[in-house]
Amino acid sequence: MKTTRYKDYDWWLIISALLLTMFGIIMIYSASFPLAIDIYDNASHFFDRQLIWFVVGMGLLVFFMHFRYDMWRKLSPLLILGSVLLLITVLLVGTHIRGATSWITIGPFTIQPSEFVKLAVIIYLAQVYSQKQAYINKFISGVLPPLVVVVFIFSLIMLQPDLGTAAAILMTAGIIVFLSGAKWRHLTVLALLSGGVITYFAISESYRMQRLIAFRDPFETAERASGGAYQLIQSYISFAHGGLTGTGLGQSVQKMHYLPDPHTDFILAVIAEELGIFGIGFVLLCLLMIAWRGVLAGIRCRQTFGTLLAFGIVFQLVSQAIVNAGAASGLLPITGLPFPFLSYGGSSLLVSLASIGIVVNISREGNRIKREQDENQAA
Say whether both 247 and 161 belong to one domain.
Answer: no
- Please determine, for residue 379, whether its predicted confidence score (pLDDT) is greater than 70: no
Greater pLDDT, 194 or 6: 194
In a shared domain, residues 92 and 52: no
Distance between CA 197 and CA 207 in Å, rounded?
A: 17
Residue 217 has what pLDDT?
Answer: 73
CB 66 within 8 Å of CB 72: no
Res 211 pLDDT > 80: no
> Cβ atoms within 10 A of the Cβ of 111, count?
20
Alpha helices in 301-345 (DSSP H): 304-329
Question: How far, in Å, CA of 21 to CA of 16, rounded?
Answer: 9
Same domain? 46 vs 143: no
191 contacts 208 by C-beta, under 8 angstroms? no
Q: Is the pTM of this model over 0.75?
A: yes
Q: Is residue 215 part of a domain?
A: no
Output DSSP code: residue 3. -
Q: Using alpha carbons, select from 355, 367, 377 the residue that is nearest to residue 126.
A: 355
**Domain with 299 in it:** 16-66+233-364
Residue 203 has pLDDT above 90, yes or no: no
Would you say residue 231 has pLDDT above 90?
Answer: no
**pLDDT, tens digit, 9 for 90 and up, residues 15-41:** 999 999 999 999 999 999 999 999 999
pLDDT for residue 378 is more than 80: no
pLDDT at res. 344: 95
**CA 186 – CA 147 distance, rounded (Å):** 12
Q: Tens digits of per-residue pLDDT, 114-167?
A: 999 999 999 999 999 999 998 899 989 889 999 999 999 999 999 998 899 999
How many residues make up the chain in this entry? 379
Average pLDDT, the chain: 90
Assess whether pLDDT exceeds 60 at residue 2. no
Q: Does residue 143 fall inside a structural domain?
A: yes
Report the distance separating Cα 233 and Cα 258, nearest Å. 10
What are the Cα distances from residue 126, in Å, to 77, 144, 226, 306, 319?
Answer: 12, 14, 44, 8, 18
Q: Which of 68, 82, 114 is nearest to 303 (CA)?
A: 68
Q: What is the pLDDT of residue 374?
A: 67
Dist CA 346 CA 115 (whole Å) = 10
Same domain, 267 and 330: yes
Task: Out of 187, 204, 221, pick the residue that ends a domain.
Answer: 204
Residue 214 domain-assigned (yes or no): no
101 in any annotated domain: yes
Same domain, 263 and 288: yes
58, part of any domain: yes
Domain's final residue, options 164, 189, 204: 204
Tens-place pLDDT, residues 286-309: 999 999 999 999 999 989 999 999
Do residues 183 and 265 share a domain?
Answer: no
DSSP string, 158-188: HTTT-HHHHHHHHHHHHHHHHHHT--HHHHH
- Helix/strand/coil percentages in the chain, nearest 5: 75, 5, 25
Last residue of a domain, one of 155, 185, 204: 204
Q: Calculate the CA 98 to chain-centre distance.
A: 20
For range 56-78, the mean pLDDT: 95
Asked if residue 218 belongs to a domain, the reply is no
The residues that bridge with 97 in the sheet, in sequence order, are 100
Number of Cβ within a 10 Å radius of residue 335: 20
Q: Report d(CA 165, CA 336) in Å as an integer.
A: 8
Domain count, the chain: 2
* Residues 83 and 125 both lie in one domain: yes
Better-predicted residue by pLDDT, 225 or 325: 325
The answer to whether residue 318 sits within a structural domain is: yes
The model's pLDDT over 306-363, given as tens digits with 9 standing for 90+, comes to: 999 999 999 999 999 999 999 898 888 888 899 999 999 999 999 999 999 999 999 9
Q: What is the percentage of the chain residues whose pLDDT exceeds 70?
A: 94
Question: Both 80 and 123 in a single domain?
Answer: yes
CA dist 102 and 93 (Å) reads: 10
Indicate whether 39 and 91 sit together in one domain.
no
Percent of the chain with pLDDT over 90: 69
Does 44 fall in a domain? Answer: yes
pLDDT tens digit sequence for 251-274? 999 999 888 889 999 999 999 999
- Whether 197 and 80 map to the same domain: the answer is yes
User: Most distant CA pair in the chain: distance in Å?
Assistant: 76
Rg of the chain's alpha carbons, rounded to an integer? 21
Q: What is the pLDDT of residue 333?
A: 85
Same-domain pairing of 245 and 344: yes
Q: What is the DSSP letter of 101?
A: E
Residue 80, H or E segment: helix 72-93
240 and 339 inside one domain = yes
At 333, give phi and psi (nearest 5°): -65, 155
